[in-house]
Amino acid sequence: MKIHNYLLDKITKQGQAYLLLIDPDKMASDRIAGFVSHCQKSGVDGFLFGGSLLMNGDMEDQIKIVKQNTTLPVILFPGSETQVTPHADAVLFLSLLSGRNAEHLIGKHVIAAPLIRKMQLEPISTGYVLIESGKRTTAEYMSGSAPIPRHKPEIAVATALAGEYLGMKYIYLEAGSGAELPVPVEMIKMVSSACSIPIIVGGGIRDAETAAAAVRAGAKIIVTGNFFEDESSWGKIAEFADAIHSAKNQSIL
């Protein structure tokens, strides 16, 4: 419960948390130390590690470098059961609630659960909900599942509530890494007002205002990945963190 409590504490004290996703394939190991210490100085609250498909990146080595260079938590964001490693602090135990592919709803979890116990990783039960975001995303393709249509927020609400009633700790509204369009604000608003568990929002967020708008709509954790893979944008990490931490949820004002 250590990392779950850390996130809840951030949400309670700051109103929301900002997690940065590192895709090991896209991050060169010699850049990672500088990148993660810059992230910590800029106000990032933690790191997610993983991807729908890992080709070459050495995730274990990269996580070790993160642990040596920051005090921030590393949470696995696994595309499959092969992406669990004891070097992380926790794992988002994701069930793909928007899909009807049994492997991603429960099958892979059965394989991963004993490994997670053996590694003494903290599992954080999360309902993962893919939202249509323009072009087809890697997450959609790799999971063999259709996303929820972006103009059908009521389906997202029903799906998120089902996750909450199944006992999940978070709902992750995911447009997909590098998505053309982020999760619609109206959908975030409806899901966060219906649910009493924190809503994570990510995918296709490329500017601080879009991140702040998701917070104002009720998101409690914002995830960005792609945008900061290009070193020329690192100077904007603090701008994103400030926008996320200073935005207020307008649905409770």
Binding site residues, ligand 1GP, CB under 6 A: 21, 174, 177-179, 202-205, 223-227
Q: Which is nearer to ligand 1GP, 1 or 144 (CB)?
A: 144
CB of residue 181 vs ligand 1GP: minimum separation in angstroms? 10
CB of residue 106 vs ligand 1GP: minimum separation in angstroms? 21
CB of residue 205 vs ligand 1GP: minimum separation in angstroms? 5
- Minimal CB distance residue for ligand 1GP: 202
CB of residue 200 vs ligand 1GP: minimum separation in angstroms? 8
Q: Which is nearer to ligand 1GP, 85 or 126 (CB)?
A: 126
User: Among positive and negative, which fits the CA dihedral 163, 202, 130, 144?
Assistant: negative
Q: Which residues on adjacent β-strands are paired with residue 117?
A: none
Q: 99 — alpha (psi -120 to 50), left (phi > 0) or beta? A: beta
Q: Which is nearer to ligand 1GP, 21 or 116 (CB)?
A: 21
Q: Which is nearer to ligand 1GP, 13 or 239 (CB)?
A: 239
CB of residue 196 vs ligand 1GP: minimum separation in angstroms? 22
CB of residue 247 vs ligand 1GP: minimum separation in angstroms? 17
Q: Which is nearer to ligand 1GP, 88 or 205 (CB)?
A: 205
Q: Which is nearer to ligand 1GP, 21 or 97 (CB)?
A: 21
